[in-house]
Structure 1
Amino acid sequence: MTSVKEFRIDEAATADELGRGTFVFTDAYSVFDWGKMPDQIPEKGASLCAMGAYNFELLESEGVATHYRGVLEQGEVVPLEEASRPPWEMAIDLTQVPDLPNDGREYDYDHYHEAAGENYLIPLEIVFRNRVPIGSSLRRRTDPADHGLAFDEWPEGVVELDDPIVEFSTKYEEGDRYLEREEADAIAGRASISDLESLAREVNRIITEQAESADLVHEDGKIECLYYQGEIRVADVVGTFDENRFSYEGTQLSKEVLRQYHKRTQPEWVQAVKDAKAEAKETDVADWKSLCEADPDPLEDDVIELARNLYCAGANAYTGHELFDAPPLSSAIGAVQRL
């Protein structure tokens, strides 16, 4: 299913019915679309599972439909508050994920939707942005006027957005890409692109308000959704430090910390990834990793400990519960600033 969580099917979905399954969160991590990196970060999986469960229950309480069923406690599905320890497994409803044939970088979405019917995972990621930081791809891909902003060009500093920007990107292509609204609408199939945007804005509002209650800034994030007999439900996992970017007192509280660390300490590998992706695009090759001429090196032990504390302290702060034995968030952030 993904590089950092495993996927167990208990009852397969059909054309007419949702199935049942489980996400098993691991301590693996991924940056730059690489897949599993050489290291693991202790308790990262449990921190993401706990945050994801917390957010799904928060969304459900606000009337947002999701595929979440609960977390697993000794084989039983229970709400997060009934778990005796931070959970690793999340019970979910399953939908169909048909094959998406491709010829190079051309993907056959008609085939996908013919097989999908009225029960399928929408092959899009819906991205929302509350800020436009320096280095954001948005600055490279678009102009401020494209988003109704009163700038001739992007300012040097962080741009705070009064109205969040919502974008659509592909989910299952080997090299994901941002889409114009018309193409996103076609890829969404029976799901309404307007409904997807409205849902993303509502999810963003709820997560942003929860973050503010913990003195965190919610900078950006994404959702993935399923379509089932006319209803759109939030799927995958939402509002964690892997899916979203948060900051605390100006310092990143997300896997962006690990991205930036690799940029500083392994620039040759980061450049090799960039070059491989560019070559794959130029030569119409889907598997860009086969063109990459370098592999990432493992992290130092102290960096792994720092990352562990960041995930665990952040989960404690966001949920308002002492789920993990971790330093205060201010201490974990201080360590990041010294990195």
Structure 2
Amino acid sequence: MTSVKEFRIEREATTDSLGAGSFVFTDDYSVFDWGKMPDQIPDKGASLCTMGAFNFELLEAEGVPTHYRGVVDHNGDSDSVVSLEEASSPPWEMAIELTQVPDLPNEGRDYDYDHYHEAAGENYLIPLEIVFRNRVPIGSSLRSRTEPAEHGLEYDSWPDEAVDLAEPIVEFSTKYEEGDRYLERAEADRIAGVADIDALADLAREVNRILTEQAESAGLDHQDGKIECLYYQGEIRVADVVGTFDENRFSYEGSQLSKEVLRQYHKRTQPEWVQAVEAAKAEAKQDNVADWKSLCTVDPEPLSDDVLETARDLYCAGTNAYTGHDLFEAPPLSSAIGAVQRL
């Protein structure tokens, strides 16, 4: 189970075969790696499931292999796995193929990836996130970790405005470590196991291209995102969920259309909690402690009903706009964005 979606298993994966199961998308949300926050956002789960299914079907149509099997249509007495178009209402459960996720032992912040891959064989979830960036905004961690010249950019230093990229930057980060970190290519290659690191980068670029083109067709700007992948008998497939407002950053007419809205709102309204989270992460890193959250001295406060309703409209109106279908009862996207700007 993740912090915002639940995991159902119909058939376990083995060393020789994929299993079957589903993601159940809840209305929970998470910011700053906290996990489940005190509130729920109405219809968020259905909007993310819908957008994820839409994107998986886009990828499959372009020949990109994925673990997607369809959405679960809860209609009447029986449930059935159908395409998004065939669903009787916006779905909140997605049927997927399952792979193996072995244990990843650790001592503090040192993780034993050799153990992971010895147990994984040739059927496993690659323990990486592959990040792609079409824009480098102010405040991006990329600015503190790298110089523009490392990415072929003709700047002596990062400028004081966002940088739009002619070609996406692809990076790798850990997935299962308590405090995830960005990796040099050689370490990412080792952590990926038998999966080819260059093939992962190429796959991320292709997914980014497809999502960016879809966003542009809907009048949206796709700024960055990530994929997670499984490896099965020599083939890399896109896994988890892809191209939603939680996994990726989109904007509309210069305004954020993603979970970034919630992050920024908490920074403005609950700065003590955000600072406590940052301090706990720094202390955990310094002391080689995996569980940073146990060091955090402040808990997040619930949000007001009007903020939750505004967030709900943003997710639902954004999904309507991105897919080109009025699947949710929601205001026009411009109105939803306007409400966010007034928070």
* TM bucket normalised to smaller: over 0.9
Task: Give the structure 2 partner of residue 201 of structure 1.
Answer: 205
The 5-angstrom pairing of residues 74-223 of structure 1 reads 74=74, 75-223=79-227
Residue 113 of structure 1 deviates from its aligned partner by: 0.1
Task: Give the structure 1 partner of residue 229 of structure 2.
Answer: 225
Residue 73 of structure 1 deviates from its aligned partner by: 1.0
Moved more, 132-141 or 196-205: 132-141
* Secondary structure of 2:309's aligned partner: helix
Alpha-carbon displacement from aligned partner over 1:236-270 (angstroms, at most 9, x marks no partner): 00000000000000000000000000000000000
The 5-angstrom pairing of residues 304-315 of structure 1 reads 304-315=308-319
Task: Give the structure 2 partner of residue 241 of structure 1.
Answer: 245
Q: Does 1:300 align with 2:314?
A: no
The whole-number CA distance in structure 2 between the counterparts of 1:148 and 1:336 is 36
* Secondary structure of 2:85's aligned partner: helix
Task: Give the structure 1 partner of residue 24 of structure 2.
Answer: 24
Residue 196 of structure 1 deviates from its aligned partner by: 0.1
* Secondary structure of 2:40's aligned partner: coil
The whole-number CA distance in structure 2 between the counterparts of 1:213 and 1:338 is 27
Q: Does 1:251 align with 2:266?
A: no
Residue 165 of structure 1 deviates from its aligned partner by: 0.2
The whole-number CA distance in structure 2 between the counterparts of 1:158 and 1:217 is 13
Residue 146 of structure 1 deviates from its aligned partner by: 1.2
1:322 to 310, 326, 336: 326
The whole-number CA distance in structure 2 between the counterparts of 1:137 and 1:327 is 34
The whole-number CA distance in structure 1 between the counterparts of 2:179 and 2:149 is 27
Moved more, 173-182 or 72-81: 72-81
Residue identity opposite 1:333 in structure 2? I
The whole-number CA distance in structure 2 between the counterparts of 1:267 and 1:208 is 33
The whole-number CA distance in structure 2 between the counterparts of 1:277 and 1:115 is 30
Task: Give the structure 1 partner of residue 37 of structure 2.
Answer: 37
The whole-number CA distance in structure 2 between the counterparts of 1:149 and 1:283 is 36
The whole-number CA distance in structure 1 between the counterparts of 2:124 and 2:305 is 42
The whole-number CA distance in structure 2 between the counterparts of 1:22 and 1:89 is 7
Q: Does 1:333 align with 2:337?
A: yes
Residue 298 of structure 1 deviates from its aligned partner by: 0.4
Residue identity opposite 1:233 in structure 2? R
Task: Give the structure 1 partner of residue 58 of structure 2.
Answer: 58
The whole-number CA distance in structure 1 between the counterparts of 2:149 and 2:217 is 32
Residue 311 of structure 1 deviates from its aligned partner by: 0.1
The whole-number CA distance in structure 2 between the counterparts of 1:219 and 1:183 is 26
Which TM-score applies when normalising by structure 1? 1.00
Residue identity opposite 1:225 in structure 2? C
Task: Give the structure 1 partner of residue 279 of structure 2.
Answer: 275
Task: Give the structure 2 partner of residue 8 of structure 1.
Answer: 8
The whole-number CA distance in structure 1 between the counterparts of 2:197 and 2:275 is 35
* Secondary structure of 1:135's aligned partner: coil
Which TM-score applies when normalising by structure 2? 0.98
Residue identity opposite 1:154 in structure 2? W
Residue identity opposite 2:253 in structure 1? E
Residue 337 of structure 1 deviates from its aligned partner by: 1.3
Residue 141 of structure 1 deviates from its aligned partner by: 1.1
Among all aligned residue pairs of Structure 1 and Structure 2, give the percentage whose two residues are the same amino acid. Answer: 81
The whole-number CA distance in structure 2 between the counterparts of 1:9 and 1:158 is 43
Task: Give the structure 2 partner of residue 46 of structure 1.
Answer: 46
Residue 220 of structure 1 deviates from its aligned partner by: 0.1
* Secondary structure of 2:227's aligned partner: strand
Residue 89 of structure 1 deviates from its aligned partner by: 0.4
* Secondary structure of 1:48's aligned partner: helix
CA RMSD of aligned residues (A): 0.4
- Count of residues in correspondence between the two structures: 339
Residue 115 of structure 1 deviates from its aligned partner by: 0.0
Alpha-carbon displacement from aligned partner over 1:268-303 (angstroms, at most 9, x marks no partner): 000000000000000000000000000000001110
Q: After the TM superposition, which segments of 4 or more aligned residues of structure 1 sit over 3 Å from their partners? A: none
Alpha-carbon displacement from aligned partner over 1:102-156 (angstroms, at most 9, x marks no partner): 0000000000000000000000000000000111111111110111111000010
5+ residue gaps, structure 2, are none
* Secondary structure of 1:80's aligned partner: coil
* Secondary structure of 1:273's aligned partner: helix
* Secondary structure of 1:323's aligned partner: coil
